[in-house]
């Protein structure tokens, strides 16, 4: 298991990919690029804490939050899950081509 987060600086925010998400993306051969700016801007208008992105064969579970210690907005990528699993009712589902 990978035990380090990956950080993708996007200027106005940072994408934080958790070790779990890195492992799942590798195991499930997720190679797609995600439109971080689009996701961040869409999620900014939504007041839920957890989000699911449906793209191709996978769902990407994310949290958007302001990190008070680092004084920055972060889009935390938690996990990649196959689309065959049912979505939770408390998750906002965004469709991205």
- Buried (b) or exposed (e) across 36-53, using 16+ Cβ within 10 A? eeebbebbeeeeeeebbb
Asked if pLDDT for residue 31 goes beyond 80, the answer is: no
What are the structural domains of the chain?
6-95 (3.30.2310)
Answer with the residue of higher pLDDT: 42 or 91: 42
pLDDT of residue 66: 87
Share of the chain above pLDDT 90, in %: 6
- From CA 21, how far away is CA 25, in angstroms rounded? 6
Q: What pLDDT, in 10s, does the model give residues 50-90? A: 666 666 667 778 888 888 999 999 888 888 777 766 555 55
């Amino acid at each position: 298991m990978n035990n380090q987060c990956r950080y993708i600086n996007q200027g106005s925010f940072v994408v934080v990919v958790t070790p779990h998400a890195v492992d799942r993306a590798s195991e499930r051969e997720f190679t797609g690029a995600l439109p971080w700016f689009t996701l961040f801007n869409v999620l900014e208008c939504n007041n839920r804490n957890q989000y699911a992105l449906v793209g191709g064969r996978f769902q990407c579970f994310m949290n958007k939050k302001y990190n008070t210690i680092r004084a920055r907005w972060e889009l935390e990528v938690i996990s990649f899950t196959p689309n065959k699993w049912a979505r939770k009712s408390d998750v906002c589902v965004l469709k991205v081509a």
